[in-house]
Structure 1
Amino acid sequence: MQLEATLNKYFGYSSFRPGQKEVIEQLVKGQDVIALLPTGMGKSLCYQLPGYIFEAPVLIISPLLSLMQDQVTQMKQNGEKRVIAINSFLTTEQKQNALNYLHQYRFIFISPEMLLQAHVQNRLSQMALSLIVIDEAHCISQWGFDFRPDYLRIGEVFDRENRPPILALSATATDKVLGDVEKYLKMKTPYKYIHSVDRPNIHLGKRFFRDQEDKLQWILQHVQDTEGPGIIYTQSRSKTESISERLLQLGISVASYHAGKDALDRQFIQQQFIEGSLDWIVATNSFGMGVNKQDVRQVIHFSIPSNVASYMQEIGRAGRDGEHALAIILYTDGDEDVARMLATDDLPTEHHIERYAQYISQNENVKNMIQNGEISETALRVLDYWMVQLPREQVAHILTEMKREKLLEIDEMMGIVRTEKCMRERIVHYFGQTLASKPENCCEGCGLTFSDIIRPREKDKASYRPITWRERIESILLGNE
């Protein structure tokens, strides 16, 4: 089979990017594959092209609704009609209709939680699938153990002899994460394609401040003085709101984005950013995964990320067009203490284990722990998974280890913040790789000059206030558009 001819026929490209052909060749042979390809390297083509080669549908398990919807929209815009996302955006009637005709689709997107519903599994078991794709596969390790345990159950759904090949895709993963992916997906001696995590066109900066107000004043001035588009990451919803409000007052085209906003508002804000109506987004880490915006010039971390993998995922949203981009970490003494608190806040404690056991012994629904204010929904989800899997004593050990690892990950991130040597070298080494070469203006430790990377902002841009989807609809109904 001439893969280049198929590539040209369906996508109009004459050659593959590094890693794409190697991955597709193995999938065509029926081999399980783990592919580590940096953001912007065309991971989605690794399953889209096989979708046109194979006869049966491709199932893509995706972590976020916004990511799923964005990928479906892009494929439809490129002319693919046989694509669907099974998620909470569909009504009950729409879901049932979709399941009835599921075999007619070429690409089926679904979340881990939806995949584990009995009626969905039953429908999939009646179908022949050509390929199972786990997009953003690092989430199995990064989220599965302590946030969304349903990720750990994906492998159980497809644990049968005659299953199709599994493709696990990610942009960043350590050897440990890759091991978790292989184990929990129950992969069969997978072929591994590991590309360097380094993105030479992203230049790594950092700034240190006396206090939070000093940091805030710097970012307000920096955004006024330098070009976007850009993303500012914070660790709290309230901080995203306050920073975006201050920037709006300065005439910056900006919006805040976090999980507390209405789902349609989030989708609308994301679309405004992609289309260029917004120059900046101030967001929690719920924003950005899978957002296909090529020209992001800056990613700024107002708070330190909880781990190096998250940091690399987030700065990887910059410079997808291959042009120079800037990633800046802002640090004030004590930021790491806040990061430690947030990283471990939703982990169940030994007290929770004891109370869980009491509820079970009294034949009481453990979900009442949430209603009684004893535990958060996330913590119960984690606890419920492990209490079913292991004896009580082992659960306590698992949770202690999870907390210890989270604190160590923050220490690793602080090592990058505090190092006076090359940041890029340290990051690449964290992923078990070796840095082949350094770009000019590599990082803070190598003598980075921001003005060599980022152009000044055009000062004559008009003031802007982002509109919600509701206001947009009202405007259309009133005939203003």
Structure 2
Amino acid sequence: MELEQTLAKHFGYTAFRPGQKEVIGAILEGKDVLALLPTGMGKSLCYQLPGYILQKPVLIVSPLLSLMQDQVEELKRIGEKRVVALNSFLTVSEKRYVLHFLEQFRFIFTSPEMLLQQQVQDKLSQMQLGLIVVDEAHCISQWGFDFRPDYLRIGQWFSQVNRPPVLALSATATNKVVNEIRDTLSLHTPFEFLYNVDRPNIHLGRVIFEDRADKVHWIIQHIKETAGPGILYMSSRKRAEQYSEALIQAGIRAAAYHAGYGAEDRQFTQQQFIDGELDWIVATNAFGMGINKSDIRQIVHETMPANVENYMQEIGRAGRDGQPALAILLYCDGDEELAKFVVTGDLPTSGHVDRYQELLNQQVQPSQMLKNGELSETAFRVLDYWLQQETMEQVKVRLNHLALEKYRAVDEMQKITQTKDCIRTQLVGYFGQKLLKKPENCCENCGIHYDEINKVRLKEEKKIEMIPWKSRLKQLLMGF
């Protein structure tokens, strides 16, 4: 059957988007593939369509529970029943059931941590998979080395099994990150499709303040006057909650979202946003990866992100429907110091390395550091992983190198924040690419007519009270 016929039969589309057919063709030829496709270009179709042709299970390794659940629900909406998320949401009995019948599913989503559990690996080793997908593969570089060490272990597992072709997917990656993905996953002479990272329908605004306090007034006023849906990115959980409360008081349908909330609460908030019950999400960078909402019109950064990759990922959540969208970056002198403080806050120190060894010498589990509140869970994951791989001195050198790399990344972001040249050209150039064409209303430095992009916000007749999802569910069930 021609690929276009399969596309129409299962997904209702008559034509492929750029890159999709090339990537799918390479997979069907049995090749490893590394694909860089911007948000909104239909990355998920690159493994979903082969799933209907290969007639063998497709394993998708995904970094976030919310992203995983969103993709599972999307497949169910188009009528796919043989899809499952093998993750921590499952009860013990549900997990046992899923593992027993795992080979009967067409699409199997899981996390790096779940993938590396022995019982999961034992089951997968007995199966014939058609394809393994590593979604958001840039996490291997950005998160793997200091946030999600289990992303690094995926490649180790690959080398131990008779694996099918591997598809590594990402929206943004520098040449350095592309090389790291290729090496870490041990891809065999992969077919590579690296699409231009530019999103011409996203217009790049920037506002520079002399006083950080002036940002608060500007943000509240801007959101009150202009239409969403939108995401307001913050540097901390506390500020996300403060701004969310301020917006709600101003009559905006808004909610805070960060990793401090429970998984169910985060998923419920995300679903409210997708369904149009919320107009603005006030979030840390924990929100938005892979979110399936096409009509996000605005992204506002209250302060500069820690690196250019994060910035491109976050603004890429806007305008997935191809319609004009606006990304506004707010900057005040000193924001770069805040960014450096935030990005190194979760890195363990040389002192933590010594403390880890001290506990081992006392025959105490090093996880006691976590229980004592001596460091964060993220920092402990980093420390524990690398101290199992290298000597104490090597780990100290590595941690120092990681901190310097993070500082350099902030400096690169600051250059783009303060440039007097075309911001879009600078962003695209950071990824080793060239800007093909400047759109109208390109960026702040080239000139933007904001009124041509932003629509005026229509005030709500009724202010919606934001209450926890469990309370709302209880009220609905009681028929209040």
The amino acid across from 1:38 in the alignment is P
- Report if aligned partners of 2:125, 2:161 keep a CA contact under 8 Å in 1: no
Write the distance in 2 (CA, Å) between the matches of 1:18 and 1:357. Answer: 52
Write the distance in 1 (CA, Å) between the matches of 2:306 and 2:386. Answer: 23
Structure-2 residue corresponding to 1:449: 449
The amino acid across from 1:107 in the alignment is F
Write the distance in 1 (CA, Å) between the matches of 2:179 and 2:449. Answer: 38
TM normalised by structure 2 equals: 0.98
Write the distance in 1 (CA, Å) between the matches of 2:85 and 2:162. Answer: 25
State the Cα distance separating 1:423 from its structure 2 match: 0.5
Q: CA offsets, 1:70-104, max 9 Å, x none?
A: 11011111100000001111101100110000010
- 1:348 and 2:361 matched: no
The amino acid across from 2:187 in the alignment is M
Write the distance in 2 (CA, Å) between the matches of 1:219 and 1:204. Answer: 16
SS in 2 for 1:389: coil
State how 1:38-437 maps to structure 2 within 5 Å.
Answer: 38-160=38-160, 162-437=162-437
Write the distance in 2 (CA, Å) between the matches of 1:9 and 1:442. Answer: 38
- Report if aligned partners of 1:278, 1:466 keep a CA contact under 8 Å in 2: no
SS in 2 for 1:446: coil
Structure-1 residue corresponding to 2:4: 4
Write the distance in 2 (CA, Å) between the matches of 1:5 and 1:347. Answer: 50
Q: CA offsets, 1:415-471, max 9 Å, x none?
A: 111111110000000000000110001001101121121111113543222232212
Write the distance in 2 (CA, Å) between the matches of 1:419 and 1:209. Answer: 15
SS in 2 for 1:38: coil
State the Cα distance separating 1:2 from its structure 2 match: 1.7
**Structure 2, unaligned runs of 5 or more:** none
The number of residue pairs the alignment matches comes to 480
The amino acid across from 1:196 in the alignment is N
Q: Percent sequence identity over matched residues?
A: 59
- Report if aligned partners of 2:206, 2:328 keep a CA contact under 8 Å in 1: yes
- Report if aligned partners of 1:220, 1:247 keep a CA contact under 8 Å in 2: yes
Write the distance in 2 (CA, Å) between the matches of 1:469 and 1:426. Answer: 42
State the Cα distance separating 1:160 from its structure 2 match: 4.1
Moved more, 369-378 or 433-442: 369-378
SS in 1 for 2:59: strand
The amino acid across from 1:367 in the alignment is S
Write the distance in 1 (CA, Å) between the matches of 2:229 and 2:350. Answer: 45
Moved more, 263-272 or 29-38: 263-272
Write the distance in 1 (CA, Å) between the matches of 2:358 and 2:245. Answer: 47
Write the distance in 1 (CA, Å) between the matches of 2:298 and 2:475. Answer: 32
The amino acid across from 1:467 in the alignment is I
State the Cα distance separating 1:478 from its structure 2 match: 2.1
SS in 1 for 2:256: strand
The amino acid across from 2:215 in the alignment is K
Structure-2 residue corresponding to 1:479: 479
Write the distance in 1 (CA, Å) between the matches of 2:371 and 2:265. Answer: 28
Cα gap change, 1:161 to 1:252, in 2 (>3 Å): closer
SS in 2 for 1:132: strand
Moved more, 255-264 or 214-223: 255-264
Q: CA offsets, 1:255-308, max 9 Å, x none?
A: 111111122121111111101111111011111011111110000001211100
Q: CA offsets, 1:324-381, max 9 Å, x none?
A: 0000011122111111011011111111222222233333211112223333221121
- Report if aligned partners of 1:300, 1:328 keep a CA contact under 8 Å in 2: yes
Q: CA offsets, 1:44-88, max 9 Å, x none?
A: 000000000012100000000000001101111110000000111
State the Cα distance separating 1:161 from its structure 2 match: 6.5
Write the distance in 1 (CA, Å) between the matches of 2:140 and 2:343. Answer: 17
- Report if aligned partners of 1:254, 1:465 keep a CA contact under 8 Å in 2: no
TM normalised by structure 1 equals: 0.98
The amino acid across from 2:49 in the alignment is L
SS in 2 for 1:206: strand
Write the distance in 2 (CA, Å) between the matches of 1:366 and 1:342. Answer: 25
SS in 2 for 1:96: helix
SS in 1 for 2:85: strand
The amino acid across from 1:384 in the alignment is D
State the Cα distance separating 1:41 from its structure 2 match: 0.4
SS in 2 for 1:445: coil
**Structure 1, unaligned runs of 5 or more:** none
Write the distance in 1 (CA, Å) between the matches of 2:221 and 2:286. Answer: 25
State the Cα distance separating 1:320 from its structure 2 match: 0.3
The amino acid across from 1:267 in the alignment is Q
Write the distance in 2 (CA, Å) between the matches of 1:152 and 1:200. Answer: 34
- Report if aligned partners of 2:257, 2:282 keep a CA contact under 8 Å in 1: yes
Moved more, 58-67 or 442-451: 442-451
State the Cα distance separating 1:9 from its structure 2 match: 1.6
Aligned Cα root-mean-square deviation (Å): 1.2
SS in 1 for 2:41: coil
State the Cα distance separating 1:236 from its structure 2 match: 0.9
Cα gap change, 1:183 to 1:365, in 2 (>3 Å): same
SS in 2 for 1:328: strand
Write the distance in 2 (CA, Å) between the matches of 1:155 and 1:382. Answer: 17
State the Cα distance separating 1:36 from its structure 2 match: 0.2
Write the distance in 1 (CA, Å) between the matches of 2:254 and 2:371. Answer: 37
Moved more, 370-379 or 98-107: 370-379
